[in-house]
Structure 1
Amino acid sequence: MRHLYRCPLRWGDMDAYGHVNNVMFLRYLEEARVDMLFHPDQDHAFARGTVVARHEIDYKRQLVHRHAPVDVEVWVTRIRAASFTLAYEVKDTGSGDEPDLVYARASTVMAPFDFALQRPRRLTEQERYFLEKYQDDEAAGS
């Protein structure tokens, strides 16, 4: 299953050419990730905290600033003892015969972190259960 976040575009997101600045894509990924991990409808499995260990982003095309939001899909591609990997697509979702228009694909390696002790920690069973709901092995290679 994938989590869908409808990300609003802001006037300040664009560069001098009217395109969304590439740096802003990292903020869009963060917003989608926070919406998935801390959404009011879920059980807050990650309330103890996580940190970003690595980001990779592959820009596919320019996103022109507009008033309509852009879709950011998030899913889990890998779960390890003390880390997990999220994948993303920033896109306009196609309808009917129209294909999706993908602006960027990305991945983030996250590590559970104990802020009180200032060190990484292992995933809890509750966190692992939550992540497994969003695991999408089929899309991992896309």
Structure 2
Amino acid sequence: MARHIYRCPMRWSDMDAYGHVNNVVFLRYLEEARIDFMFRLAPGDGDESFSGGSVVAHHEIDYLRPLVHRHEPVTVETWVTGIGAAKLTLAYEVKDEDTVYVRASTVMVPFDFAANRPRRITPVEREFLEEYMDEEREAAAA
């Protein structure tokens, strides 16, 4: 299984009054990694890939350790744990080499904005997603 690796820069404004990255900011880190994964790396010319549109249907996030602001980026690993006809589930870890700060998942729905409705995952998109599928997690969830 391949994982998409995104090095997310940290900003001074990410820090809260307690001196660590605010819980809401982690959702922005996930968003940046997801956009890098789905829009920049996904195949297609915008009409037949996720760059044509998708929406978040559900987030789940577990905060494991506080992350203190620093100048080095934090790593966000992304992989696929589920592919349906018209939705997919992404999993993430926000981490350094030795420490996992957050584990999370997002259910995404491909969306046709011109028709204002969800759409099915195309065969090209499915092929791309399957390269990042964690089959062990999928089997455990079944």
The residue identity in structure 2 corresponding to 1:67 is: H
The alignment partner of 2:133 has SS state of coil
- 1:97 aligns with none
- 1:68 aligns with 72
- 2:57 aligns with 53
Task: Confirm or deny that 1:131 pairs with 2:129.
Answer: yes
Task: Confirm or deny that 1:114 pairs with 2:112.
Answer: yes
The residue identity in structure 2 corresponding to 1:15 is: D
Distance 2:6 2:17 in 1: 26
- 1:104 aligns with 102
RMSD: 1.3
Deviations 1:86-141 (A, max 9, x none): 00000002xxxxxx300000000000100001001111111111111111123556
Deviations 1:49-91 (A, max 9, x none): 1100000000001000111110000000000000000000000
- 1:30 aligns with 31
Aligned residue pairs: how many?
A: 134
The residue identity in structure 1 corresponding to 2:78 is: V
The residue identity in structure 2 corresponding to 1:113 is: F
Unpaired stretches in structure 2, ≥5 consecutive residues: none
| Superposition TM-score, scaled by structure 2 size | 0.90
The alignment partner of 1:38 has SS state of helix
The residue identity in structure 1 corresponding to 2:125 is: E
Task: Confirm or deny that 1:9 pairs with 2:13.
Answer: no
Contact 2:65 2:100 in 1 (8 A): yes
Please report how far the alpha carbon of residue 43 of structure 1 lies from its aligned counterpart in structure 2 after TM superposition: 2.1
Percent identity over the alignment is 68
Contact 2:111 2:117 in 1 (8 A): yes
Distance 2:135 2:71 in 1: 33
Greater fraction of residues in helix? 2
The residue identity in structure 2 corresponding to 1:49 is: G
Unpaired stretches in structure 1, ≥5 consecutive residues: 94-99
| Superposition TM-score, scaled by structure 1 size | 0.90
The alignment partner of 2:130 has SS state of helix
